[in-house]
Amino acid sequence: MQALLDVILPVFLVIGLGYLAVWQGWINDAGIDGLMTFAQNFAIPLLLFHAIATLDLGQNFDVAMLFSFYFGATAGFVAGLFGARYIFGRPWEDSVAIGFIGLFSNSLLLGLAITERAYGADALAANYMIIALHAPFCYGLGITVMEVVRNHGHGSVKTVKAVLRAMFRNVLVIGIMFGFAVNLTGTPIPGFVSDALELITRAALPAALFGMGGVLYRYRPEGDMRIILYISAVSLILHPLIVWLMGSALNLSQGAFRSAVITSAMAPGINAYIFANMYGVARRVAASAVLLSTAATIFTAWIWLGLLG
């Protein structure tokens, strides 16, 4: 109960305040869009840049942890893809978008915030390593499978171009790439630049959480509730369960194990809806799954934190 009160509820109260603010008309959609533009296009990419640029890669690059997390994420994608197709009879393109929901956990807004509140800022190094590969891996997998499905296995050059274009236009990926470039070349960051980055990045998570609440207000639970509940269970139960089993088998350190399990246990990120909207398929399922899973994370995250001890 203490973890629920001290760790999880403060994060979701910020999200809830954003939801309430839009619901009551205290802030309009344009205001939320502006806040999310600041958070997603500026503050969070700079947060990732600064974190990766100053990260001790030799100490924190844990292949076993990354394998555990992304094995679980891929299993979530496969379960969503084939479950949507063969259990619920959805078209292949819909099924890929639904699989993406099981693949893309909210590693940034929820994973970082809950890990920091539970274990402190020093525990975030493993999270940043997961996040460094998250968007490239998930979009790379999702776009590749979608383009193969849409082109019926043909047009490999077109598929590669689509994947690369999506990668290098993603501002989060750009921030991560520049962070790695600074880190690997040993380029020093001047003190005044570092101070400015810290000023901006302090606002990143609170602004993004508040904005996320406002965005979630637009998502009405509609569509096939059975498939929404199915993909929510894949995201909140199957993904972290597989990461737990893999992490235990590979003897991850306590810090890496906690970060991997908590990150995998988060609800699908808004990127799940963005991906569905990008292709114009399964948008209602994606929107409803993001909304309902985010609300359910209040309780499922409490259970996973309790199991982690």
What is d(CA 37, CA 54) in angstroms, rounded to the nearest whole number?
Answer: 25
| Residue-wise pLDDT tens digits, 47-87 | 888 888 887 776 667 899 999 999 999 999 999 999 999 99
Which ranges of 4-83 does DSSP label H, i.e. alpha helix?
9-23, 29-38, 44-53, 57-60, 63-82
Asked if the model's pLDDT at residue 153 lies above 70, the reply is no
The domain limits of the chain are 2-308
Asked if the model's pLDDT at residue 11 lies above 80, the reply is no
Residue corresponding to tokens 């199957």: 238
What is d(CA 31, CA 105) in angstroms, rounded to the nearest whole number?
Answer: 26
Contacts of 55 (CB under 8 A, 6+ apart): 125, 128, 129, 179, 183
Tell me which of 92 and 309 has the higher pLDDT: 92
Grade residue 105 by pLDDT with cuts at 50, 70 and 90. very high
Asked if the model's pLDDT at residue 261 lies above 90, the reply is yes
Grade residue 263 by pLDDT with cuts at 50, 70 and 90. very high
Asked if the model's pLDDT at residue 131 lies above 80, the reply is yes
Structure token pair of residue 220:
């009405």
Residue 132: HSE in the Cβ half-sphere, 13 Å Cα cutoff: 24
Q: What are phi and psi of 283, to 5 degrees?
A: -70, -40
* Residue whose C-alpha is closest to residue 304's, from 114, 70, 66: 114
DSSP state of 152: T
What is d(CA 298, CA 196) in angstroms, rounded to the nearest whole number?
Answer: 33
Which of the listed ranges 148-157, 235-244, 277-286 does the model predict with the highest average pLDDT?
A: 235-244
Give me the long-range contacts of 110-114 (CB less than 8 A, separation at least 24): 110/11, 110/266, 110/267, 110/269, 110/294, 110/297, 110/301, 111/262, 111/263, 111/266, 112/205, 113/11, 113/205, 113/209, 114/7, 114/8, 114/11, 114/262, 114/266, 114/301, 114/305
**What is the Rg, in whole angstroms, of the alpha carbon atoms belonging to the chain?**
19
The domain at 2-308 falls in which architecture?
A: Up-down Bundle (1.20)
Q: Of 53-57, 61-65, 151-155, 249-253, where does mean pLDDT reach its minimum?
A: 151-155
* Residue whose C-alpha is closest to residue 197's, from 72, 97, 89, 51: 51
What's residue 69's pLDDT?
Answer: 96
Cα four-point dihedral sign 166, 113, 129, 39: positive
What's residue 84's pLDDT?
Answer: 96
What's residue 212's pLDDT?
Answer: 77
What's residue 27's pLDDT?
Answer: 92
CB burial of 219-254 (b: ≥16 within 10 Å; e: otherwise) equals: beeebeeebbebbbbbbbbbbbbbbbebbeebebee
Residues 283-307: what's their mean pLDDT?
87
Asked if the model's pLDDT at residue 6 lies above 70, the reply is no
Residue 105 pairs in a beta bridge with 268
What's residue 152's pLDDT?
Answer: 67
Residue corresponding to tokens 């934190």: 305
Mean pLDDT, the chain, as a whole number?
A: 85
What is d(CA 260, CA 244) in angstroms, rounded to the nearest whole number?
Answer: 8
Residue 268 pairs in a beta bridge with 105
Asked if the model's pLDDT at residue 248 lies above 80, the reply is yes
What's residue 267's pLDDT?
Answer: 92
